[in-house]
Amino acid sequence: MANALTFPTREPHQAFRLSMLLNDSRYRSYTIQIFVLMCLMLGIAWLADNTVRNLALLGKDFSFSFLWSTAGYDINQRLIAYDTQMTHGRAALVGLLNTVVLAVLSCVLATIIGVIAGVLRLSGNPIVARLMTVYVELFRNIPLLLWILVFGAIMSEAVPAPNAFKGENATASMIFGAVAITNRGVFIPEPLFARDLGTLNLGIVEPSLNALVILLVVIGCVLVNRALMRRASQVQSQTGIRPATWWKSAIILAAPPLLLLWAFGFYLGYPELRGFNFQGGLQLRNSLIAMWLGLSIYTGAFIAENVRAGILAISRGQTEAAHALGLRPGKTMRLVILPQALRVIVPPLISQYLNITKNTSLGLAVGYMDLRSTLGGITINQTGRELEGMLLIMLIYLSLSLIISGSMNVYNARVGLKER
């Protein structure tokens, strides 16, 4: 009660009046917020009501049952078993997997291109630096769709047809007898196993057991190798001398997978020309290549700028200090600059990965059968379920993007500055 004499801790009680909702600054903000919220809800309600009424006017109902009816159309690139007698839902899944594959391939390639171009743009060599500037400005400033179409046109117009590989005086030949670049796509050897363990039936997808076992073994090897590295770092911090680990790493990483491949009877299936086209091998279709190159090189230009910004954000003193310690430029970049630059690079990189994932929906332009072309294109067209199909597609892209940004945020938290 001592300070109650000088500071009144409680305002005098005042009866609540309706006018206080507008005049009293304590309540006004709530009034405004509730008003805006109501407007928003009204807007949504109006949209929903309008949709329901118009659907009723057209005599259409709102139902997802079309996902279980027979699709009837073919999809050229499929990672899981699919034929025309399967359902629209299955076709959508095939499309979704195609979207994911394209997104992953493009993210990887775009990152590689972006990091190299970003670092080279800061190179001391003026020719290299200027070339990278030209690359970045050229690709960044022309719409992505045009690049995709350009790559699509190059793949279908500028490379030989399969029958150019045929006959006595063939005008085209396979690279090393293994890779055929044709206007139907690029054919590369496919990995095959003489001793096949069959497939694991998970109901919807049936992954090959061989591939699963190899994947598990590789993951195991990487984990063991990391333990080895941790041990080496421990020894280094205790004694100052880092034990030689390279031959141990090489054995741990290479030997078990190679042994496993030998045990499975691994061999390569080469593509060969039969009838109209190459058979066997793995076919990377024109549409995939056009999309992959278009997305990667276009987005790589943006990533290059992020990388450059990240590197420039690290003060020059860091480089000088590293040089003073006797680190070579390559090691300076790898051990000192890049780890710090990653903190600046990763957040915008997440946006670029999201952009790539969403931009895969341009696949329709070159006939790439992604989610947009299957569920959002042919299925909607054959069943007339525009609203349901589009809502479903939006939901899937949203979930896909949230998963990517979620996992990238985890990575960002790991490379980020640990403030304690």
Partner 1 sequence: MKKSLFLATLGVVALLSGTATAGTLDEVKARGKLNCGVSSGTAGFSTPDAKGVWQGFDVAFCRAVAAAVLGDPMKVEFVPTTGQTRFTALASGEIDVLSRATTWTFSRDTDLKLTFAGTNFYDGQAFLVKKELGVSSAKDLNGATVCIQSGTTTELNLAEYFRINKMSYEPVPVDSSAEGERQYQAGACDVYTSDGSNLASVRASFKNPPDHVILPEIISKEPLGPIVRQGDEQWADIVHWTLSALFAAEELGVTKANADQLADGSDNPEINRLLGKEGDLGKMLGLDADWARRAIAAGGNYGEIFATNLGDQTPIRLERGLNALWTKGGLMYAQPFR
Per-residue tokens: 126: 């003026």
Q: How far apart are CA 277 and CA 163, in angstroms?
A: 8
Structural contact between residues 86 and 71, judged by C-beta atoms closer than 8 angstroms: yes
CA 146 vs. chain centroid, Å, equals 21
**How far is it, in rounded angstroms, from Cα 260 to Cα 210?**
9
Residue located via tokens 């690049």: 147
Nearest of 190, 176, 208 to residue 267 by alpha carbon: 190
Residue closer to partner 1 (CB basis): 286 or 352: 286
Shortest spacing between CB 217 and partner 1, in angstroms: 35
Rounded Cα distance between 134 and 136, Å, is 6
Nearer CB in complex with partner 1: 294/300: 294
Beta bridge partners of 186: 181, 284
DSSP string of 228-294?
HHHHHHHHHHHHS-PPP-HHHHHHHHHHHHHHHHHHHTEEEEPPEEETTEEESSEEE-HHHHHHHHH
First to last CA, the chain: 40
Nearer to partner 1, 187 or 353 (CB): 187
Residues binding partner 1 (CB under 8 A): 34, 38, 41-42, 45-46, 49-50, 53, 57-60, 72-76, 83-84, 156-157, 161, 183-184, 274-277, 279, 286-287, 364-365, 367, 369, 373, 377-378, 380-384, 386
CB nearer partner 1, residue 58 or residue 194: 58
Q: How far is the CB of 365 from partner 1 (least distance, A)?
A: 7
Alpha-carbon span 75 to 43, nearest angstrom: 40
- Closest distance between partner 1 and the C-beta of residue 384, in Å? 4
Dihedral angle sign, alpha carbons of residues 255, 257, 261, 264: positive
Residue with Cβ nearer partner 1 (258 or 394): 394
118 vs 185 by CB, closer to partner 1: 185
Minimal distance in Å, beta carbon 386 to partner 1?
Answer: 6
Kindly tell me which of 43 and 416 has the beta carbon lying closer to partner 1: 43
CA 260 centroid distance within chain: 30
Least distance from partner 1 to the Cβ atom of residue 82, Å: 12
- CB-nearer residue toward partner 1: 45 or 80: 45
Tell which residue, 270, 278, 75, has the closest CA to residue 182.
Answer: 278
Q: Are 390 and 380 in contact (CB under 8 A)?
A: yes
Radius of gyration of the chain (CA): 29
Angle at 88 (CA atoms; ends 86, 89), nearest 5 degrees: 95
Q: How far is the CB of 216 from partner 1 (least distance, A)?
A: 34
Are 153 and 161 spatial neighbours (Cβ–Cβ below 8 Å)?
Answer: no
Q: Kindly state the smallest distance separating residue 268's Cβ from partner 1, in Å.
A: 22
Give the nearer residue to partner 1 in terms of CB position, either 44 or 108: 44
Which CB atom, from 181 or from 364, has the smaller least distance to partner 1? 364
Question: Taking the complex as a whole, how short is the minimal distance between the CB of residue 153 and partner 1, in angstroms?
Answer: 8
Rounded Cα–Cα distance for residues 133 and 390 (Å)? 39
